[in-house]
Structure 1
């Protein structure tokens, strides 16, 4: 099996942990597996270096400085592997055979990186490459970086381009947990999670796998997260399933928009809960929700509009901070979903501008970490779908 193993800063944070990492790599090699290693900077080295740059420095100098953490890690890990009789070499920007390159705009040159990654893969039966994470090489040979979480990105990108069977992210958590074990009681490991679920969690604060890395995962590449204390690269942890695809779809049935107005209701505890609970207890499904300082809007099936209006009206009468409920229908919703959306500056204007040019009014727009939902008049649904599909 061909595996790309990425060791995070915590898993390389001391000599003992480097030894543990080297032991797990050695065991996998002795079992006949092809292993490529991606190494982060030891501990908090990168953050420490960034904090010490208290002077004016251009991007090239900053990149050279912060690269020292990863450059040290690959040398330490390569030496530990060599001490165990493993044929290993380290690769960093400037090395012969370095795989990750960017174009003149600082974006990964996918074609060139794929070609170089395959060349590294061809040598895996002879040696273990230990590759600096986070770093790339510009077209002029300069050192560039892949941004926050760049080591994860390096690993999954190389796993894809090296045609690996699996990418293993070795970190300081036992995979994805049901909650933050430092905050909640009884947090446990999740055996499997979809790439869509994890991408949303990652964009909302879960520090397990960098969102930029998940963009490179395809359906044929397994990705797994394990704790550095586990000791076995090939078992345990959380398996990340599936892949991202840009998808444009339209809800087949019309929606009704019910807006409840009130006085600063966003700051009133329990208002949103009472409104949504009232609908839920009456088996009215909520498709989407939007809120402002003085209003909450629920999108429900148009056939449920009258019943939902009566339910919400009872809540308006019961709570003095609420003023009125109104209904607008029929509306259509077109959703754009895709793993690359958050990485595209100006994506909202890219989607909305063609609708503006076509004189289509966007009734509402709701975004999440990986999707954009457009609410338009029902009569504009086909044209909106056509214009949006043309973009993706």
Structure 2
């Protein structure tokens, strides 16, 4: 079996924990498995280094400074493995075996990184590469970082590109829990969870695996979350199942845009609830809501637009903070949902720019942690759908390669 194991900062927080990590790695080697290790900075080293940068440092210097946490971790682990007669080598930016390369835009270059990761995989025969997580290297050889959760991203990315059987995320939680054990009495470990469930939990505050990492998971790559005290890297914890799927969906029926305007409407407590409740009482389904300082917009089916307008007009008449209501028709909505959307720089421009190039006027964009909804004229829906599908397909291919 080929394994990639990522050890988080807590799991390497002390010399004793580094030794525990080395023991678990040595056991995998002794059992005849291949393993590559990804190491985060020990404890809270990265945060401490960032706090100590009290001067005006450019991005290049800042990246070099914070990289010292991971650089120290891989040296500690390599030395601990050597003490256990395990042949290991640390791999950091600048090394001949360094795999993670960004493009000129600062994003991971999938083709170059895959090529380098495959070369790293060939070195697994008889040795354990201990790779710095979180870090990347520019085409010019400068150090850069992968952002929040970057070590998770390094691990799952390498697991994908190195054709590993499994990626194990070693952290300070016993897999995924039914609730925060510090708050909820009786919280227990979840044996299995899907990538979509875990992504949604992550965006609502659960720090388990970075969503940016899960976008690299494919169906044949197992991913598990394991507590650092568990010891056995090949069993236990929570298994993460499935893959992110890029979904582009277009509403079949046209929508109307009903906008309620008012003075400082956002500062009026309960206004959104009142307006939504009024529509609910008339059994009007709300497809989407967009708000500003002086307006709230409801997207509803065109077939109920007049009833919705009349209903909201009644609310305007009764509330002095509201001034008017308007009704525009007809609009189409194209929704994009997928694992690569959240926390990915440039995702909105990657959708909007091609539409602008095609001369499409975007009426509205409503985003959430896991989706983007684009509202356009009903007459342009088929053209927009085709363009968006093409862009999402290209994006998925770039991440998956």
Change (3 A) 1:297 1:160: same
Change (3 A) 1:323 1:201: farther
Change (3 A) 1:76 1:347: closer
Q: Distance in 1 between matches of 2:379 and 2:344?
A: 30
The answer for the alignment partner of 2:49 in structure 1 is: 49
Q: Distance in 1 between matches of 2:373 and 2:42?
A: 41
The answer for the alignment partner of 1:12 in structure 2 is: 12
The answer for the alignment partner of 1:273 in structure 2 is: 273
- Using the TM superposition, give the Cα deviation of residue 256 of structure 1 relative to its aligned residue in structure 2, in angstroms: 2.7
Query: What is the total number of aligned residue pairs between the two structures?
Result: 392
Point out where structure 1 has 5 or more consecutive residues left out of the alignment: none
TM-score by length of 1: 0.83
Map 1:180-199 → 2, pairs under 5 A = 191-199=191-199
The answer for the alignment partner of 1:97 in structure 2 is: 97
- Using the TM superposition, give the Cα deviation of residue 69 of structure 1 relative to its aligned residue in structure 2, in angstroms: 1.5
Q: Secondary structure of the equivalent of 1:243?
A: coil
Change (3 A) 1:365 1:77: same
Point out where structure 2 has 5 or more consecutive residues left out of the alignment: 393-401
Q: Which moved more, 1:151-160 or 1:280-289?
A: 280-289
Q: Is the aligned partner of 1:292 residue 2:292?
A: yes
Q: Distance in 2 between matches of 1:221 and 1:230?
A: 21
Q: CA RMSD in A?
A: 3.4
Q: Distance in 1 between matches of 2:309 and 2:183?
A: 39
Q: Distance in 2 between matches of 1:314 and 1:51?
A: 54
Change (3 A) 1:30 1:308: farther
Q: Secondary structure of the equivalent of 2:73?
A: helix
Q: Distance in 1 between matches of 2:89 and 2:148?
A: 26
Change (3 A) 1:278 1:186: farther
TM-score by length of 2: 0.82
Deviations 1:88-117, CA, capped at 9 Å, x for gaps? 332223434333334555443433332332
Q: Which moved more, 1:268-277 or 1:310-319?
A: 310-319
Change (3 A) 1:111 1:377: closer
Deviations 1:161-196, CA, capped at 9 Å, x for gaps? 111122122222344456655567776655544434
Asked if the contact 1:199–1:369 (Cα under 8 Å) also holds between the matched residues in 2, the reply is no
Q: Distance in 1 between matches of 2:307 and 2:190?
A: 39
Map 1:146-295 → 2, pairs under 5 A = 146-177=146-177, 191-199=191-199, 202=202, 206-280=206-280, 284-295=284-295
- Using the TM superposition, give the Cα deviation of residue 18 of structure 1 relative to its aligned residue in structure 2, in angstroms: 1.7
Q: Is the aligned partner of 1:122 residue 2:122?
A: yes
The answer for the alignment partner of 1:377 in structure 2 is: 377
Q: Distance in 2 between matches of 1:161 and 1:134?
A: 16
Q: Secondary structure of the equivalent of 1:220?
A: coil
Q: Is the aligned partner of 1:145 residue 2:145?
A: yes
